[in-house]
Structure 1
Amino acid sequence: MKLLKQLCQIHAPSGNEKNMTDFLLNYIETHKVQWKVQPVIVNNEDFQDCILLVFGEPRAAVFAHMDSIGFTVRYGKQLVPIGGPATKTGYTLTGADSQGEITCTLKYDEEEGELSYDYHREIDRGTELVFACDFRETDETVQSCYIDNRLGVWAALRLAETLENGIIAFSCWEEHGGGSVAYLAKYIYEHYHVRQALIADITWVTEGVQPGKGVVISMRDSLIPRRSYVQKIINIAKESGVPYQLEVEGAGGSDAKELQKAAYPWDWCFVGAPEDNVHTPDEIVNKKDIDSMVKLYQVLMEKL
């Protein structure tokens, strides 16, 4: 879990993913020699901070978003949320501005519905603050801020080790409305005619989805994917013997939103481990679900 811990510690809220991009490019350059197939790496101004890895003759693409939730400093000591972070008074936040490194405390006024920070000075407006990383590992679980979606990124990197044919897309802005998958999907479809997608992201523990019971295949969230494609994923999972769970939700979304609304015939399915304490500094995932997530992605990318 050393790599996952490193990923969770990187400051990369929506809109400022460059630190994560630089880390991933360095990691890929260092480790790709050990991978089964050497990918084509696509990262240029047309892709902003996103990265595409193209392996062999791709038939499907995996999308994993690099960004996290957080807060933007407004005026005085006001904060504006990035995405949908938990807002409990007392959470430790970190960041940096023109005067140096920052460690401060989140304050939430329930009566006024206002967010602010407690710090000995005023922080530069526009500074992004994120949850301080306290990475905890036991024999059964890992717990930290930003398991969503650093675990999805981690799983994609593990997949890259053995992937022969396929595309891995590391995207931006997912937690705050998206915006990058639209042009990634356009490029992938037009250059490789790939239109099958898997969304490597993290979902919720609920009354119907339990930790330790396997990776989750989502049949729907706030959007509804094409049933025949989801059934294809489920059938492959059944035959694989990898533990999995089925999810049905009426809320939530992912990078799939932009695939669903694209002017291209993309099929998509969300496949990811379930976590508890969603969007807090204490997100927790069972290691059995992490293991089954990696194994199922390996099978799916071979069979699709």
Structure 2
Amino acid sequence: MKLLHTLCQIAAPSGNEAPLSEFLLNYIQQNKERWKTQPTVLQGEEFQDCIILVFGRPRTAVFAHIDSIGFTVRYGKQLVRIGGPDAETGYQLVGEDAQGKIECTLVVSERDGALTYEYEREIERGTELTFRCDFRETDTTVQSCYLDNRLGVWNALRLCETLQDGVIVFSCWEEHGGGSVAYLAKYIYETYGVRQALISDITWVTEGVRPGKGVVISLRDSLIPRRSYVERIRRLAQEAGIPHQLEVEGSGGSDAKELQHGSQPWDWCFIGAPEDNVHSPDEIVDKRDIESMLALYQVLLQKL
């Protein structure tokens, strides 16, 4: 879990993914020689802070968003949400402005729910603040801020070790409305003819999805994937004997929304481990669900 710990410590709220993108490029450069297949690495201004890795003759693309939720300093001590972070008085926030590093305290107004911070000085407007990372590991769980979606990124990086044919995509802005997957999907479809996708992201523990019962295959959220594609995935999971759960939700979304709303005929399925304490500093995931997530992705990239 050392790699996951490192990923969770890197601040990369939506719109400022560059620090994590730089880390990923360095990690890829340092580790790719040990991978089974050497990928083509696509990055640069035409992809903004996103990264595409192309292995062999790909049939399937895996999308993992690298951004996180957070807060933007407005005027005075006001804060504006980035995405949908949980907010409770006392949460510790970190960041940096021209005057130096910052560690401050989130304050939620009991009167109107307005968000402010407590700090020894006024923080420069436009500064991004994220949850302070307190990474906790036991024999059975990992707990930290930003497991959504650093765990999805971890899964994609581990998949790279054995992948022979496929595309790994590290996307941006997912937590705050999206915007990168549309042009990434268009490029991948037009260049490589790939039109089936897996969304490497983290879902929720609910009354129907329990920790420790296996990776989640989502049948729907606010969007509905093509049933025939999802059924192929279910059959492969069953044949491989990998523990998994089925999810049915009426809300929520992911990078898949830009695939479904795009002009190319993408099939997609959200597959991820469930977490509790969603979008808080204390997100928690069962290690058995992490193991089954990676195992299922390894099977699917071989057989889809």
In structure 1, how many angstroms separate the alpha carbons of the residues matched to 2:240 and 2:255?
Answer: 26
Aligned to 1:160: 160
In structure 1, how many angstroms separate the alpha carbons of the residues matched to 2:265 and 2:113?
Answer: 42
What SS class does the counterpart of residue 302 from structure 2 fall into? helix
Alignment map for 1:167-186 (pairs within 5 Å): 167-186=167-186
**Cα deviation, residue 119, structure 1:** 0.4
Alignment map for 1:232-243 (pairs within 5 Å): 232-243=232-243
Aligned to 1:151: 151
User: What do residues 217-264 of structure 1 show as CA deviations (whole Å, max 9, x unaligned)?
Assistant: 000000001111111111111111110000000010000000010000
Uncovered stretches (5+) of structure 1, i.e. residues with no partner: none
Aligned to 1:207: 207
In structure 1, how many angstroms separate the alpha carbons of the residues matched to 2:194 and 2:110?
Answer: 47
In structure 2, how many angstroms separate the alpha carbons of the residues matched to 1:112 and 1:300?
Answer: 48
Aligned to 1:291: 291
Aligned to 2:231: 231
The one-letter code of the counterpart of 2:211 is P
User: What do residues 48-83 of structure 1 show as CA deviations (whole Å, max 9, x unaligned)?
Assistant: 000000000000000000000000000000000000
In structure 2, how many angstroms separate the alpha carbons of the residues matched to 1:73 and 1:28?
Answer: 33
In structure 2, how many angstroms separate the alpha carbons of the residues matched to 1:106 and 1:234?
Answer: 43
In structure 1, how many angstroms separate the alpha carbons of the residues matched to 2:78 and 2:251?
Answer: 29
Please tell me whether residue 77 in structure 1 is matched to residue 77 in structure 2.
yes
**Cα deviation, residue 124, structure 1:** 0.4
What SS class does the counterpart of residue 89 from structure 2 fall into? coil
Alignment map for 1:26-65 (pairs within 5 Å): 26-65=26-65
User: What do residues 160-181 of structure 1 show as CA deviations (whole Å, max 9, x unaligned)?
Assistant: 0000000000000000000000
In structure 1, how many angstroms separate the alpha carbons of the residues matched to 2:229 and 2:250?
Answer: 19
Aligned to 1:107: 107
User: What do residues 252-302 of structure 1 show as CA deviations (whole Å, max 9, x unaligned)?
Assistant: 000000001000000000000000000000000000000000000000000
In structure 1, how many angstroms separate the alpha carbons of the residues matched to 2:33 and 2:216?
Answer: 31
Aligned to 1:24: 24
The one-letter code of the counterpart of 1:190 is E
In structure 2, how many angstroms separate the alpha carbons of the residues matched to 1:290 and 1:101?
Answer: 33
**Cα deviation, residue 113, structure 1:** 2.3
Aligned to 2:88: 88
The one-letter code of the counterpart of 1:171 is S
The one-letter code of the counterpart of 2:272 is G
**Cα deviation, residue 35, structure 1:** 0.1
What SS class does the counterpart of residue 257 from structure 2 fall into? helix
The one-letter code of the counterpart of 2:108 is Y
Please tell me whether residue 131 in structure 1 is matched to residue 131 in structure 2.
yes
Uncovered stretches (5+) of structure 2, i.e. residues with no partner: none
What SS class does the counterpart of residue 90 from structure 1 fall into? coil
Aligned pair count? 304
Aligned to 1:300: 300
The one-letter code of the counterpart of 1:230 is V
Aligned to 2:245: 245
The one-letter code of the counterpart of 1:174 is E
In structure 1, how many angstroms separate the alpha carbons of the residues matched to 2:126 and 2:67?
Answer: 17
Normalising to structure 2: TM-score of the pair? 1.00
Please tell me whether residue 116 in structure 1 is matched to residue 116 in structure 2.
yes
In structure 1, how many angstroms separate the alpha carbons of the residues matched to 2:189 and 2:111?
Answer: 49
Runs of 4+ in structure 1 deviating by more than 6 angstroms, as ranges, are none
Aligned to 2:220: 220
**Cα deviation, residue 111, structure 1:** 1.9
In structure 1, how many angstroms separate the alpha carbons of the residues matched to 2:260 and 2:113?
Answer: 34
What SS class does the counterpart of residue 85 from structure 2 fall into? coil
In structure 2, how many angstroms separate the alpha carbons of the residues matched to 1:138 and 1:74?
Answer: 38
In structure 1, how many angstroms separate the alpha carbons of the residues matched to 2:238 and 2:262?
Answer: 30
Normalising to structure 1: TM-score of the pair? 1.00
What SS class does the counterpart of residue 185 from structure 2 fall into? helix
Identical-pair percentage: 73
The one-letter code of the counterpart of 1:199 is I
User: What do residues 91-128 of structure 1 show as CA deviations (whole Å, max 9, x unaligned)?
Assistant: 00000000000000000113222100000100000000
